[in-house]
């Protein structure tokens, strides 16, 4: 999310990051759910994606900095796609089903079967459906998937240019992307634009700032102040910072200051409830990538029946939180194990 999809990549060494990543995924879920019922809160929920990118850089550096020279670019990207694709495919299928249902109510749609087929074809290849007529977004079948596109782009760049990623290069890339973010933030709403053309500019700037910063923070983690005792504060701080009304200055402060602070704290702390942290680590990517089409389907059904969507959305939230555990256990992990044994010659990677 992005880091939401890493799933236990931190193992036991950085288990506090598992917990933080899980909270961020739940925030995105609540952010979209509240918008569906017309009572938006956690209005900064979209900024959780920047935290995902930051954690992703930290965790990828932890998992691959020493392995990548021997592993190679192609093998690395194969592992990343095996990690990402099964649940992404599931979210896409749910979105395609939703679009097909919409198509059944032709008078309410502006697209035809050809548009849906094209969107599915693009999605299966992990490509943005430019100019689609379903909703105008690059990933109309599962909107949160936009962040996975930028995750793959930055992962490919990390692997391809790994030998050149000195501290100076990482700092230059991070500062340049940060300046781009400051400039883009003068256009209200562009950072939260997951559908318009602004997504490509803001997406590159967001991942270009947070991911390399995460890599740098991992490599310089020995310089972190001792924040281990502040671990209990990460969840409240995250929720408080993302609760208020949308504000350009808040967005930049969160991306550039609060997110790195949260990472430093979480990287040094142990979860208060280890089993809950493990649950969050296992389910965070699933929650992130399947929740939006499910919420859209539930909300759309309630609207067509002429009933309030509050209760159905509440039930959907519980179902997503509970069901994600079983999807991880009985779908995602078995499929990744099979793909890994067939195409990667190893057990399914947790990274």
Q: How far apart are CA 5 and CA 328, in angstroms?
A: 11
Give the pLDDT band of residue 302 (cuts 50, 70, 90): very high
Asked if 79 and 58 touch (Cβ cutoff 8 Å), the reply is no
Domain ranges of the chain: 3-344
135 pLDDT more than 80: no
Q: How far apart are CA 218 and CA 275, in angstroms?
A: 25
Give the pLDDT band of residue 1 (cuts 50, 70, 90): very low
Give the pLDDT band of residue 199 (cuts 50, 70, 90): confident
The reported pLDDT for the residue numbered 108 is: 64
Residue 282's closest CA among 93, 2, 10?
10
214 pLDDT more than 80: yes
Q: How far apart are CA 1 and CA 229, in angstroms?
A: 27
Listed ranges 111-125, 128-142, 282-296; the one with the highest mean pLDDT: 282-296
The reported pLDDT for the residue numbered 344 is: 66
Give the pLDDT band of residue 3 (cuts 50, 70, 90): very low
Structure tokens given for 147: 């962040």
The reported pLDDT for the residue numbered 189 is: 61
Average pLDDT, the chain: 88
Q: How far apart are CA 21 and CA 27, in angstroms?
A: 10
Summarize pLDDT for 27-75 with one digit per residue, the tens. Answer: 999 999 999 988 878 888 999 999 999 999 999 999 999 999 999 999 9
Largest CA distance in the chain: 61
Q: How far apart are CA 58 and CA 218, in angstroms?
A: 5
Which tops the pLDDT comparison, 260 or 280? 260
3-state DSSP assignment of residue 125: coil
Q: How far apart are CA 146 and CA 113, in angstroms?
A: 23
107 pLDDT more than 90: no
Give the pLDDT band of residue 5 (cuts 50, 70, 90): very low
Q: How far apart are CA 271 and CA 14, in angstroms?
A: 10
Which tops the pLDDT comparison, 252 or 197? 252
Report the pLDDT averaged over residues 127-150: 85
Which tops the pLDDT comparison, 38 or 94? 94
Summarize pLDDT for 261-295 with one digit per residue, the tens. Answer: 999 999 999 887 888 888 988 999 999 999 999 99
Structure tokens given for 33: 């759910």
Report the pLDDT averaged over residues 134-156: 90
Q: What percent of the chain has pLDDT over 90?
A: 61
């Amino acid at each position: 999310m992005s880091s939401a999809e890493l799933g236990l990549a931190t193992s036991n060494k950085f288990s506090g990051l598992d917990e933080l990543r899980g909270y961020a995924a739940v925030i995105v879920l609540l952010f979209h759910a509240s918008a569906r019922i017309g009572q938006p809160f956690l209005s900064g929920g979209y900024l959780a994606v920047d935290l995902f990118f930051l954690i992703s850089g930290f965790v990828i550096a932890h998992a691959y900095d020493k392995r990548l020279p021997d592993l190679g670019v192609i093998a690395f990207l194969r592992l990343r796609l095996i990690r990402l694709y099964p649940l992404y495919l599931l979210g896409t299928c749910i979105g395609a089903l939703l679009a097909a249902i919409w198509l059944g109510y032709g008078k309410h749609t502006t697209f035809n079967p050809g548009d849906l087929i094209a969107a599915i074809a693009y999605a299966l290849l992990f490509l943005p459906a430019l100019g689609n007529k379903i909703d105008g977004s690059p990933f109309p079948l599962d909107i949160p998937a936009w962040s996975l596109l930028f995750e793959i782009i930055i992962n490919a760049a990390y692997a391809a240019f790994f030998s050149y990623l000195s501290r100076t290069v990482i700092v230059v890339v991070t500062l340049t992307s940060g300046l781009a973010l400051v400039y883009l933030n003068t256009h209200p709403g562009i950072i939260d634009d997951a559908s318009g053309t602004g997504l490509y500019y803001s997406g590159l700037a967001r991942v270009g700032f947070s991911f390399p910063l995460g890599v740098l923070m991992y490599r310089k983690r020995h310089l972190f102040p001792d924040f281990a005792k502040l671990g209990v504060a990460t969840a409240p701080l995250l929720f408080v910072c993302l609760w208020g009304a949308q504000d350009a200055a808040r967005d930049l402060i969160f991306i550039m200051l609060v997110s790195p602070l949260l990472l430093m704290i979480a990287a040094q702390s142990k979860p208060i409830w280890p089993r809950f942290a493990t649950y969050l680590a296992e389910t965070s990517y699933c929650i992130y990538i399947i929740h939006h089409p499910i919420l859209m389907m539930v909300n759309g059904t309630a609207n067509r029946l002429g009933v309030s969507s509050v209760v159905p959305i509440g039930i959907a939230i519980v179902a997503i939180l509970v069901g994600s555990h079983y999807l991880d256990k009985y779908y995602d992990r078995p499929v990744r194990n099979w793909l890994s044994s067939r195409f990667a010659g190893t057990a399914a990677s947790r990274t």
